[in-house]
Amino acid sequence: MHDPAAFRSIHKTRYNAEPAIFVGPGRVNLIGEHTDYAEGFVMPAAINFACLAGISPRNDGKIVIYSENYGEERTFDSAALPPHGSKHWSDYPMGVVSILAGEGHKFPGFSLSLWGDVPLGSGLSSSAAIEVATALAVLSVVGASYPGPVLARLCQRAENEFVGANCGIMDQFISLNGKENHSLLLDCRSLEFKLAPIPDHVALVIANTMVKHSVAGGDYKTRRAESEAACAVIASHRPGVPFLRDATLEDLDKWGHEMAPKSLMRARHVISENLRTVACCDALLRGEMAEVGRLMAEAHTSYSKDFEGSCVEADAMVALAQDLPGLIGARLTGGGFGGCTVNLVEQAQAPAFAEALGARYAAQFNIVPEIHICHASGGAHRLE
């Protein structure tokens, strides 16, 4: 994690003011992929990679946003906020400002600095980390706050409506509501959740394929549309199925032949993934780690074969982990088409596991992957 003291001094030097600093963590999803927008279940954990947001007031009515990652600053007029994004990094913070302004908050001028160490485009929710850290920062300026689930929806809207990426609720929700050493089984319909402790002897090893992933990209949209088309076929017979959350594998047996073949495959992934996610949480709560690993393996196969959301490199990263000592379970995590795999590994064997996996991957692809031994951390908060 970046050094908050260094960050404070960057902001102070630039804006000649002491910032209040907020942290928005990235996340890793243990299981439950492409189920959130189907109002199903996900099981993510917040991680110890995060975006820091430093904020201080200004008296010239300007909103000035600086990204230390991009080394770039953008200036806006607080009285004339842009109505939509401009395909620029500043869309993420400005989307949040714009959605919150739409909720009736009148923002005075402020300087906002951002610095994140969530690897960009790696499927670890660098976007949600920025949105959530920004939301807490700008709300502090107007002295407002929201319950976590409500703020998660507002940040999701920033991404859907301003940035133009049609993501679900998972990333913003876990970034706000994560808990140290826990993953969280979230019902994306009710936003109720159950905490599942990650045992002390288990490490989260995150392996970056170094293949860039983007939710704003076309594949995410296509997969979502295909799975929603399958749902529409089921709903034409069973109107009680507005989302795939409500569908069953029997529905696919009955009406799958009316679906485009790809739609049927996407729906089979989403419906079975919901079942696996709930089962995985139960197994984790019972401490049955072998069952957790089995479900993660099944989830990866379903994500790769039925959802076609993986890529050669991610499939290899999962395959190369299989016979390494200490592995409990491995799968591609996040929006797909690149990014990272998540590996649950016996803590004592995690360093050797990470090294061996990195070496195997580098030998196969001639790319040195970044492999991190992470832990589940708490949700977004203000740094004192």
- Give the residue numbers annotated as catalytic, written as ranges: 171
Distance CA 67, CA 189 (A): 34
Distance CA 144, CA 156 (A): 18
Alpha carbon separation from 46 to 129, 163, 241, 325 (Å, rounded)? 10, 22, 31, 26
Lookup result for tokens 């089995």: 294
Burial of 3 (C-beta count, 10 Å sphere; 0-12/13-18/19+): exposed
Nearer to ligand GLA, 113 or 263 (CB): 263
β-sheet bridge partners, residue 53: 22, 114
> For residues 216-233, b (16+ Cβ closer than 10 Å) or e, as one string?
bbebbeebbebbbbbbeb
Site string for ligand GLA, 321-360 (x = CB under 6 A): -------------xx-------------------------
The distance of closest approach from Cβ of residue 159 to ligand GLA in the complex, given in angstroms and rounded to an integer, is: 7
Distance CA 156, CA 163 (A): 10
Is residue 213 within 8 A of residue 121, CB to CB? The reply is yes
The distance of closest approach from Cβ of residue 335 to ligand GLA in the complex, given in angstroms and rounded to an integer, is: 3
Among 24, 30, 33, 326, binds ligand GLA (CB under 6 A): 33
Does 26 engage in binding with ligand GLA (CB under 6 A)? Answer: no
> Which of 163, 184, 96, 105 is CA-nearest to residue 132?
96
> For residues 170-179, b (16+ Cβ closer than 10 Å) or e, as one string?
bbbbbbbbbb
Number of amino acids touching ligand GLA (CB under 6 A)? 12
Does 207 engage in binding with ligand GLA (CB under 6 A)? Answer: no
Give the binding range for ligand GLA (CB under 6 A) out of 67-75, 168-176, 230-238, 355-363: 168-176
Among 64, 65, 158, 167, binds ligand GLA (CB under 6 A): 167
Beta-carbon contacts of 256 under 8 Å, excluding residues fewer than 6 positions away, are 264, 267
Does 223 engage in binding with ligand GLA (CB under 6 A)? Answer: no
Give the binding range for ligand GLA (CB under 6 A) out of 30-38, 70-78, 315-323, 345-353: 30-38
Nearer to ligand GLA, 31 or 327 (CB): 31
Q: For strand 110-116 and strand 202-208, is the pairing parallel, antiparallel, or unpaired?
A: unpaired
Site string for ligand GLA, 86-125 (x = CB under 6 A): ---------------------------------------x
Among 22, 37, 110, 243, binds ligand GLA (CB under 6 A): 37
Site string for ligand GLA, 255-274 (x = CB under 6 A): --------------------
Q: Please work out, in degrees rounded to the nearest 5, the angle formed at the alpha carbon of residue 126 by the alpha carbons of 124 and 127.
A: 125
Among 171, 228, 246, 313, binds ligand GLA (CB under 6 A): 171
Give the binding range for ligand GLA (CB under 6 A) out of 31-39, 112-120, 144-152, 254-262: 31-39
Nearer to ligand GLA, 54 or 339 (CB): 339
Nearer to ligand GLA, 293 or 334 (CB): 334
> Residue 116 in 3-state DSSP?
strand
- Binding site residues, ligand GLA, CB under 6 A: 33-34, 36-37, 125, 167-168, 170-171, 215, 334-335
